[in-house]
Amino acid sequence: MKNKNNPKGGDNRREFLKKTTLAGLAGVLSPVSDLIGAEAMENNDLENVKLSEGSKNKTISILITTDIHAQLFTHDEFFWENNQAVYKKRGGLAVLKTMIDSFRKKSPETTLLYDGGDYFHGHAVASLTEGEALIPIFNELGYDLMLPGNWEVVYKKKKMLYDMGHANAAKICANMYHSTKDETNGELVYPPYWIKYISGTKIGFIGYTDHLIPKRQSPAYSEGLKFEHAEKNLAKYVTLLREVEGCSVVIVATHMGLAQQVGLANNKACEGVDIIMGADTHERVRVPIQGKYAKVIECGAFGSFLGKLDLYIEEGKLKEMNYELMDVDPVKYPADKKLQKMVDAAYEPYRKELDKVIGTSKTPLVRYFVMETPMDNLITDAIKWKFGPDIALSNGFRFCQPLAVDSKTGLASITKEFLWNMLPVNSEAKTAKVSGKQIWDWLEKELQNAFAKDPSKRFGGWFVRYSGMEVNFTIGNELGKRVNTVKIGGKPLEPEKEYSIVACEREGDPEDTLCRIEHVRNPKKTPIFLHDVIIEYLAQHSPVAPKIEGRATATDEPNTLLTQLKGTTYEFR
C-alpha cells in the first residue's frame, strides 16, 4: 500500500530492499571468495582460481536428470537419425554416477545436482517396494535438489511423503498443497523455493509439478493433495527471490511437459525468470527454446541423458548461460563399482522371477511415437485377444525405454522385468458398453488432452492407444472438430450403435467411467490382471511383430510424429 505522503512509497521500499540486500551481500562476498581462491591455489587448480578471483567472475554448473523412472540398468535407447530409428545402449544408474562424479571433481564447490521428478516409479523393483529400494541409490548419487513428478503420487500421499522424505536432497514445489481436513489443510506440502549460496552468488530455484495430476493419474493416487497452475503464484516468488533475497539467478524447476513449459515461458508471470528446467514429456532439448520471458530446457528420460547448465557470473550478475545434453554412455563412463553393488543388491531378491523370458518379438518394442506405437499395439492386441471386445484401450503412457532386436538372433527377448517397464501398475481389466457417439466425443477429448492449443490444458501423455479401431484426425483443428473418420472392425462408426470396450481400471474413477469415457453402461471389473493377459498372449503368439499400421493417422502430421510441441525449432532426436 502506498504512503499518502509518498505516492511512490512502494517503489522506494523496493529500491530500499534492493540496496540493503546488496549491501548485506557485499560484506560477505570477499571472505568467501578468498577462501575458495586459496583452496583452489592449494590444489593447483588454476581454472578455479580464475573463476573465483574476487568473486566477480565464476561459473556455476547444474547437472540435471529427470524422468529416470527407476531404470536401474543400462538399456536400449531410441534415437531418430536420418528419418529412421537407431538403437544404442545408454543409461544405468551406476554409469550415471561415474559421469556425474567426473564433472563434480572438476569443480565440487560450484556444481549442483538436480532431479526433475518421476524417479521412484517405472521399474519392477520400484513398484514391488513402493519406491523404497530406490532411496539409498538416490542418496548415493548425491542429489542437492529434487522435485516431485506426476508419478511420485503413484503409491499415494503417505508413501510419497516417506520416499521423498528419506531422500537427502532439498525438496521444492510451490503448487502442491495438502487438502486433508486436519492441521495441514491448505498448506504447501514442500517449500516453494530453495536458495543456494555459491561462492558469493545466490541462485534461487522455484518448483512446480503438473497441476493436472488428479486428472492424468488414477484419482485415488493424489487423494489428500490439491494442485494449482504455476501462474497463480510464480510472479510472487520471482519478486521475492529477486528483490528481497537478492538472487543473481532465478530458475524455475518444473515437471509440466514441454508444451506447458514453453507456454509458461511466454506467460507474463514468468517475467524475471532466467531459465525453466523442465521435465515430464521426456523431450530431449539440445538447444534451449527461447520464450518471451525465459528459456526452456528438458533433459530426456530413463537415466539415458544428463543435462549440464553452466551459469557464467560476472560482477554478481548472470552474464550468459551454456547448456548441453549429453548421453549417459557406458563405453565412456564405466559403471561405478559401489553403486553397481547397491543396484544389484536391490534387484537380487526379484532376479529369478524378473529375468524369466515370457516371449519374443521380431520388431523393436518402442513407445516414443505420439499417435501410435508398436509397444501399445502389442498390449491392446493382447487385451482384444483375451476378452474379444470391439475395442481394446490403453492409456497414452510415455514411460518405458525401448527393447531392440538382437542383431544375431533377429529377436528381442521380453522378460518379466520388461513387462513391468511397459506396465509398472498391474491393473485389473474392466469391461463396459458405449455408444458410437460416446466414442466419437471421447476421442475429441483425448485429442484435446494431447494437442490442445492452450498448453496449460495438455495432459502430458501421448494420444490414447487402441486395437479394433482406426481413427483419422486433423491435429491443427479446433476443439471438437479434429476427428474426421472412425472405423470399428473395419466398418464406419455408427453413432447409435453400442460397442463393447475393455481397458484397465483406474483406481478412484467412478464406477461408470472407463479410460476417461464417462457414463459407460454395464461396467464390470474382471479378476484378470493385465500382466497375466500379456504373459498368456505372448506364450501363444511369440514371436510377435508389432508395428505402426495406421490405427491412428493425421492429415497434418506423419505417423512417426515424435513431439507435440509446435511453433518452435525444436526437434526430437
What distance in Å separates the CA atoms of residue 34 and residue 56, rounded to the nearest whole number?
A: 11
Sign of CA dihedral 523, 527, 533, 539: negative
CA 73 to chain centre: 19
Distance CA 514, CA 487 (A): 20
Alpha carbon separation from 439 to 396, 419, 463, 481, 492 (Å, rounded) = 16, 29, 14, 14, 12
For residue 110, give the nearest of 36, 208, 194, 185 by alpha carbon. 36
The pLDDT value recorded for residue 509 is 85
Which strand ranges, in their side-by-side order, compose the sheet holding 295-298? 193-198, 201-209, 249-255, 275-278, 295-298, 289-290
Per-residue model confidence as pLDDT tens digits over 258-286: 999 999 999 999 999 999 999 999 999 99
User: Is the CATH code 3.40.1260.10 the one for domain 355-554?
Assistant: no
With b meaning 16 or more CB within 10 Å and e meaning fewer, what string describes 60-82? Answer: bbbbbbbbbbbbbbbbbbbbbee
Total H helices, total E strands in the chain: 15, 27
C-alpha 37/C-alpha 565 separation (Å) is: 45
Transcribe 160-177 into DSSP letters: HHHHHHTS-SEE--SSEE
Domain boundaries, the chain: 56-337, 355-554
Round to whole Å and give the CA distance between 51 and 60.
9
Amino acid at 359: G
pLDDT tens for the chain, 573 residues long, are 334 334 334 444 344 334 433 333 333 333 222 333 333 333 333 333 333 344 468 999 999 999 999 999 999 999 999 999 999 999 999 999 999 999 999 999 999 999 999 999 999 999 999 999 999 999 999 999 999 999 999 999 999 999 999 999 999 999 999 997 776 778 999 999 999 999 889 999 999 999 999 988 888 999 999 999 999 999 999 999 999 999 999 999 999 999 999 999 999 999 999 999 999 999 999 999 999 999 999 999 999 999 999 999 998 899 999 999 999 999 999 999 999 999 999 999 999 999 999 999 999 999 999 999 999 999 999 999 999 999 999 987 888 999 999 999 999 999 999 999 999 999 999 999 999 999 999 999 999 988 988 877 777 678 999 999 999 999 999 999 999 999 999 999 999 999 999 998 888 888 999 988 999 999 999 999 999 999 999 999 999 999 999 999 999 999 999 988 887 889 999
Strands 275-278 and 295-298: parallel
Classify domain 56-337 at the CATH superfamily level: Metallo-dependent phosphatases (3.60.21.10)
CB contact at 8 A, 59 and 310: yes
Q: Which residues of 247-284 are buried (b: 16+ CB within 10 A; e: fewer)?
A: bbbbbbbbbbbbbbbbbbbebebbebbbbbbbbbbbbb
Distance CA 64, CA 301 (A): 11
CA–CA separation, 42 and 197 (whole Å): 23
